[in-house]
Chains A and B, each alone.
Chain A
Amino acid sequence: MSVRIHSYDVNREFTMGHPVDYTRRSDLQNVDHVFKAEITNTVNLTEHEKLFHIRILDPTERDRFHFHPGQFVMVVLPGYGEVPISISSSNSQRGHIELCIRKAGLVTDVLHRAAPGSHIGLRGPFGTSFPVERMRGKDVLLIAGGLGIAPLRAPIFYITERLGDYGKVSILYGARTPKDLLFDYQYEAWRRIYNVHLDIIVQEPDETWTGKVGMITALLEGMEIDPDNTFAIVCGPPVMFKFVCARLQEMGIAMQNMFVSLERRMHCGMGKCCRCNVGSTYTCLDGPVFDYWSVINQKEAI
């Protein structure tokens, strides 16, 4: 007599012929699958930031890759590592995405040295998104500080591509110095649109700067808003969105109608490594986009 414990094959859970779910909420076999992609072009923004145009190589995967504004991908450089990066482009171009990346560590340093044509990997998209659908018919405040303009570009594109569906759209952007301003070549395009109001401010002007000087909150002074009819998206460092959201609260906007994007260390993107844990939530699953109430309701979120 003897006992043989039967083997259980996890791979069998993946039924053949079942359509592949590229958001991979349930597909065991594709949990660690990496899309192969190509850097098609790069745009130098500042000394430290570069915009990467990226295309998924496989045409089928490219067609099925879709994301919502505010979501992020893990950029995979085999042999170097992975980094979480917010998608910075319009989601209407499937399989073509733009990532605005600051040179800040090992992986991003290698990326900055990569020439167009280089292959990289992508996992994702991951996380929550800005509820741009719920904002239809309302006024929208899009507020960015510093590198916060990178994740904010996705909802800016989403909304400016459907301007008829939204009320007044205000884009407020603040940076430390004029040299830190990103995407300056796009301001003119946004500024000329009838129902888009663009305002820019820097903290430390140089001799060439003729625009406004001060903190980002200064742009809100004297601004007329209809608080019950206004949504806000605020992206930037915690100290910035803390002050901005406090000001917006004073102006009467409900905390549930303000959205921020949090930044944390991440190693998986799937709620397993726990590195991005804040209170009871994982920034990768329940975020990176949180409404402001959820942010102040969690200890250590700001």
Chain B
Amino acid sequence: MLYKTITKSDFEHLIDFILEQNEIIAPRKVGEKPDGTPIHQFLPIEAFSEMDLDYSKTEYSAKTYFLPFRENLSTWSFGDGGWKQDIQYRQKPRAIIGLHACDIHALLKLDKVMLKGPFPSPYYKARRENTVIIGMDHEPCGSGFCASLGTDILTHGFDLFLTDIGDRYFVAVDSDRGFRILSQVPLAEVTDEDRRRYVRARAAISEKQTIKVHTRNLPTLLDLTFNSAVWEKWGSKCLSCGACAMVCPTCYCYGVKERVCMDLASASKVKQLHSCNLVDFAEVAGGHNFRPTREHRLKYRYYHQHRGFAEAYDEPMCVGCNRCGDTCLAGINPPDVIADLEQENP
């Protein structure tokens, strides 16, 4: 890994350079909650000033730019008693600025599902390959427990990653593409003083990570508590709304529907993100539902994130951002649910 430093004003110039010919998606303040805390989302920006890099956490993750909520997988045009199928994977190049470490970890986990197994997804790959990732270190977000899952530290998965060291940014460069972009502004070599400041900055961030969730033995714990009353307790609160999956940076499950054009001349195969908490998730033709109750479905969500996925991909699917907990209307959140499971077998 290459490390450089740039001044903060040069970073601003860099964003302007990229904006001249490319789309940029960055955290923007879109409103305030009743208590005055700002609401941020990843949205396209037109100018550097629209970006708010001092954000703590966006409501939605940047997943939507890689796995859009709704996506056309193929288009059918009918005629002559048959059909033609058209499939498009194209994606215009763009950059996403200001992703935090947990959100970049989420992309690395999605890569394992979407690219590294059999049947790599060309739809995902087109978006991933055409998106420059410029990440950024930040103060802990408040409710997240990323440190417990090791997703507060990054070693790869970005083009550039910035850490604020006072008047300058300490920049980790992880791709040739990133290096070429960065080279548009004056770069400085890392000095001993920069190194000391970087280590201090990282240490200060780590110290503020106070939320601890015991995840080390979680896979076995989830097996042992499979029939526990804890699931009834939390399942009975669950509204089966699926909001947790919508805001989750790693939830990838979906459903496919056909949409027929009004003139019956064409139709499209449309993919739409789903949630394992929705009632029809595991329902099969004929009406049998493999997970008929809210309790079954909530348990499956935790079980898949921390047990099933961990077994299949050697790491849990959860990155600890706690967006699901923040957004849940019923107050279901991973730290409390996991703490309850631990109480079951003290």
CB-defined interface of B7-30 with A at 8 Å, one 1/0 digit per residue? Answer: 000000010011011100000000
Residues of chain B from 85 to 134 with CB closer than 8 A to chain A in the complex:
85, 87, 89-90, 92-95, 113-114, 117-122, 125-126, 129-130, 132
CB distance from B110 to the nearest CB of A (A): 10
Residues of chain A from 32 to 86 with CB closer than 8 A to chain B in the complex:
32-34, 36, 78-83
How many chain-B residues does the 8 Å CB contact rule pick out?
69
CB distance from A106 to the nearest CB of B (A): 9
CB distance from B261 to the nearest CB of A (A): 9
Q: Is B69 an interface residue when CB atoms closer than 8 A count as contact? A: no
Q: Is A104 an interface residue when CB atoms closer than 8 A count as contact? A: yes
CB-defined interface of A76-103 with B at 8 Å, one 1/0 digit per residue? Answer: 0011111100000000000000000010
Q: Is the CB of A273 within 8 A of B258?
A: no
Q: Is the CB of A5 within 8 A of B82?
A: no
Which bracket fits the contact residues of A?
35 or more
Q: Compute how far the CA of A277 lies from the CA of B85 in the bound complex, rounded to whole angstroms.
A: 29
Q: Is the CB of B78 within 8 A of A79?
A: yes
Q: Is the CB of A279 within 8 A of B308?
A: yes
Q: Is A197 an interface residue when CB atoms closer than 8 A count as contact? A: no
Stretch of A164-172, A250-258, A259-267 with 4 or more beta carbons under 8 angstroms from chain B: A259-267
Q: Which residue of A lies closest to B183 (CB)?
A: A3
CB-defined interface of A177-198 with B at 8 Å, one 1/0 digit per residue? Answer: 0000000000000000000000
Option from A28, A36, A265 in Cβ contact (under 8 Å) with B282: A265
Q: Is B36 an interface residue when CB atoms closer than 8 A count as contact? A: no
Question: What total of A-B pairs shows CB separation below 8 Å?
Answer: 160
Q: Is the CB of B95 within 8 A of A5?
A: yes
| Chain A residues whose CB sits within 8 angstroms of the CB of B223 once the complex forms | 299
Stretch of A7-15, A201-209, A223-231 with 4 or more beta carbons under 8 angstroms from chain B: A7-15
Q: Compute how far the CA of A3 lies from the CA of B129 in the bound complex, rounded to whole angstroms.
A: 17
Q: Is the CB of A108 within 8 A of B285?
A: yes
| Chain A residues whose CB sits within 8 angstroms of the CB of B258 once the complex forms | 78-81
Question: Which chain A residues have a beta carbon within 8 Å of chain B's beta carbons?
Answer: 1-11, 24-26, 28-29, 31-34, 36, 78-83, 102, 104-105, 108, 119, 263-265, 267-268, 270-275, 277, 279-281, 285, 299-300
Cβ contacts A to B, 12 pairs, < 8 Å: A3-B17, A3-B21, A3-B22, A3-B184, A5-B130, A10-B125, A33-B85, A78-B258, A265-B290, A267-B254, A273-B274, A299-B226
Ranked 4 nearest A-B pairs via Cβ: A274-B253, A280-B311, A270-B119, A5-B93
